[in-house]
Chains A and B, each alone.
Chain A
Amino acid sequence: MKDPIIQLKGLTKQYGCLKAVDDLNLDVYKGEIFGLLGPNGAGKTTTILMMLGLTDPTSGTACVCGHNATSSPIKVKKKVGYMPDSVGFYDNMTALENLIYIGRLNGVPENELQTRAAGVLEIVGLAADKHKKTSAFSRGMKQRLGLADVLIKNPDVIILDEPTLGIDPTGVRDFLALIKQLSQKQGLTVLLSSHHLHHVQQVCDRVGIFVNGKLLAQGDIGALSGQLFGTDGHITSITVKQAITQPWLLEPELKQWEAIKQITINKNELEFTCSRDITPSLVRLFVEKEYDVIGVHQKNYGLDDIYQKYFESNRTEI
């Protein structure tokens, strides 16, 4: 059984009468990439701040790496690297100087400092710019320097708050690939928050959907769609060459299949909603009946649909 490296229990943060985070329970396991997905103002940053002891929870506990983040933040911060959403650097210092300063604050031995700083700059691809002042850095470069800054302390867990905000699409892809690679190579646990579902979908092993301070669902993407769309999760659509005439001869026969819940016919495109995946037997049947199948498409719910669905249901509640 895996032990959770981040364990949030009944975490609540109240600002006046506004509940920013409401009774949050969340476990993140060692070595996984967890995506905290939610719209702006959902309480993602507040949750992260509570995990680092930068703000006190109204009630509940946040346990990170076995330490309570509220009562012993220093121990937590030794193990956790945090990159804030708008990461800033000392403009009058170079990238290397900024890194070395953070390295010193983390107690990295002086004789290792230079090599380690150069090493992490190499990893994030800023080796050529290490003697540039950070005031001249672009947003994407700052973001990468922020990652280097997190890595120099050799953390067990890294927490990235909106790491993809404001970088161009190629930059995002490279950045996410880098995070994935680091997580695999060094066995890092990564928690990243974002409101960009595609970014999260690309790298995260598990996702938690966070709206208005509540964690609505968590799990991998398959599990999420299962949770959300229930048993009618599998949709197979088959396109055939000849037009289907109503009433369709095969329909009564297919209705006998217990797995099929619903059949929608749209000219030459048939959509089957099934309780489990029966695409192969469907295709076999079509071929036997001498239909010219020109396309089979298995519809998986992406994060987009999941996200949309949650927001819709959330909006109607209000």
Chain B
Amino acid sequence: MKSQSDDTRPFSVMVHKEIADHIRSWRFAILIALIVLTFIASMYVSLANIKSAIGNTNDPDHVFLYLKLLTTTDNSIPPFHVFLSFLAPLLGISLGFDAINSEQNSGTLTRLMAQPIYRDNLLLAKFVSALVIVSGLFLALALLMIGGGLVLTGVRMEPQELIRIFGFIVITIAYVAFWLSLSIMLSILFKQAATSALTAIGIWLFFTIFYQIVINVVVKSFLPDPALLSQAQVIYYNDLILNLLRVAPNQLYSDAITTLLMPSVRSLGPVTMEQMAGAIPSPLPFKESVMIVWPQVSGLIASTVGCFALAYFLFMRREIRS
């Protein structure tokens, strides 16, 4: 018992210190401001349009007021969850890109490593502290939104809505965690903080902008003319393209989020007429939505773990000198 508390104590000390550092840093203040601003802007737009969205009885989701708050827009600005698919990577990258190399450059890493702590505890502390902060931030925003919605509309909240919103938060945190672990890995790989930041931003830009274009170009070059293909073949190629696109973490994230926030989404791929026959356009229960996005969520978590494992591998046996 005693030995266990001895082992975990340095870890919690490090997490405390890292959290304090993040909170006091200007960088984090700016990021919070950015996210809070987009949150307010998208809430403002969705509140302005909420009446028509709720009144639209053709939409099977119209009963979910709080989910509508997160997803409704008049197309002047994107809804909050789309904003997040851009901002969450930025958040993850900026909290992690100088995790190790700034300590190394300022000479504190050697000093820290000369203390009786496990090396992996340092990495884990960097990761956990940033995640704790991000979770706190998103949780606060979600609760603010729910509370604000309650006060402004007075509509009772469905339990399912609460679960879905928390699911959305959890997946967003997992998405930030992926970018965080990627940028921590890069901060071990590169000695200069600027290099690792640029590389991380490069990867982010590649996946958000260029990846789809690249896939389209590549697929078009060897795809046969769709007019000559049977229906089964068309579906096969379509699946292939979708699966290739799902290598990009932002695709996984937006798939998962869309399904969770719009309960009527039944499938993320093409659906044949036979499959649709007899289906009533109604919202799915939460469990079914989770079943649809489970591959996406596990993909996100797997890539997070993969990056983190690589970071461990790079860091554990490395020679630490300033």
Contact = CB atoms under 8 A, between A and B. Distances in A.
A272 interface: no
List 10 A-B pairs, minimum CB-CB distance, nearest first: A88-B107, A82-B114, A55-B319, A84-B110, A88-B106, A77-B116, A78-B116, A104-B13, A105-B115, A88-B108
Contacts of A49: 319-321
A56 B119 CA distance: 14
Given A45-B321, A55-B321, 13 more contacts: A49-B320, A54-B110, A54-B114, A74-B118, A77-B115, A81-B114, A86-B107, A101-B13, A104-B13, A105-B10, A105-B13, A105-B14, A146-B111
Contacts of A83: 111
A287 interface: no
Interface string B1-43: 0000010011001100100010010000000000000000000
A311 interface: no
A92 interface: yes
A54 B321 contact: yes
| Chain B contact residues, majority secondary structure | helix
A20 B24 CA distance: 42
Nearest to A90: B108
Interface in A54-108: 54-56, 74-75, 77-78, 80-92, 101-102, 104-107
A149 interface: yes
A105 B117 contact: yes
Contacts of A80: 114
B51 interface: no
A52 interface: yes
Contacts of A107: 6, 9-10, 116
Interface string B112-147: 111111100000000000000000000000000000
A89 B21 contact: no
Interface residues of A, number: 32
Given A49-B321, A55-B319, A102 B108 contact: no
A54 B322 CA distance: 12
A306 B17 CA distance: 48
Interface of A: 45, 49, 52, 54-56, 74-75, 77-78, 80-92, 101-102, 104-107, 146, 149, 153
A254 B317 CA distance: 66
Contacts of B17: 101
11 contacts: A45-B321, A49-B321, A54-B110, A54-B113, A55-B321, A74-B118, A81-B114, A84-B321, A87-B107, A87-B111, A88-B111
Contacts of B14: 105
A300 B134 CA distance: 68
B19 to A, nearest CB: 13
Contacts of B118: 74
A77 to B, nearest CB: 4
Contacts of A52: 114
A202 B288 CA distance: 78
A45 B321 CA distance: 9
